[in-house]
Structure 1
Amino acid sequence: MRILGLAGWSGAGKTTLLKGLIPELRGRGLRVSTVKHAHHAFDVDVPGKDSHTHREAGAEQVLVSSANRWALMTELRGAPEPPLAELLARLNTVDIVLIEGFKRDSHPKIEVHRAANGKPWLHPDDPRVLAVAADVAPAALPHAHLDDIPAVADLVLRFAEPL
């Protein structure tokens, strides 16, 4: 299993890029999974559902299953957020795992950058940024335009590293 992160400031286009990359990589015959870092207040469960009631009653884990999918929710209840390596270890084996967010972690990354955001580049301060997907080209790193999904997929396959 190989991993590669897409790191960038909010609004740079990471999720939009992933939306195009996943089917592109699948079309090349690869099995793809993702890990997404979310804001503190995110929730996949909703009030009124039995699973939500179970969690609110104090269950540490709730596994919801149907004929289409299953999901395991684990309440941290004050424990620290698990490190990225621990989260990756919970995934089924696939060809490549794309990581959205976790920009401060030390894994191989493609920086996603949009000039209109006015945010600074990440790569000058992060040696694990190996390439860039942006609407402007940096001088020192391999790059592809944000909208050129096949070219970004080529960068993903070039720079993804074994877990």
Structure 2
Amino acid sequence: MTIGRTENELQEISLLGNKTQYKDDYAPEVLESFQNKHPENDYFVKFNCPEFTSLCPKTGQPDFATIYISYVPDQKLVESKSLKLYLFSFRNHGDFHEDCVNIIMKDLIRLLDPKYIEVWGKFLPRGGLSIDPFANYGKKGTEWEKTAYKRLHYHDMNPEFVNNR
């Protein structure tokens, strides 16, 4: 077993160590991945983004959320700085909460082809109402497809106590 990454393995990652350039609008092209050195192991990777911002497509008002991304990688993992820049690119993007969550999930599926992924947005209330969309996916024909079904089916059977976050 090799410990660490070779220069060849690190060539796929271009954002780390370079000056950060922030995109003005939705930018899925900034997402980068790298090889999973442990594809034989099933394990979760979880990201929490407590400063997610997008815009209401109708009013242009900002929406604030914590976005939770959990996935079981197959051959690839997402590079965290690229994920941060990608999520930041929603800052001036107008879409409904449910759309943002599904777009994020689908972009990561295209990039990573994970065994399983779920994206949960916990949006702060606006107009007295908070919205918490949840989307997930399990690779077709695997046990993870069944997990996705069960997880979605029983997703919020014991809802949390929400006190305006």
* Higher relative contact order, chain-length normalized (CA < 8 Å, sep 6+): 1
Same topology, TM > 0.5: no
TM-score under structure 2 normalisation? 0.24
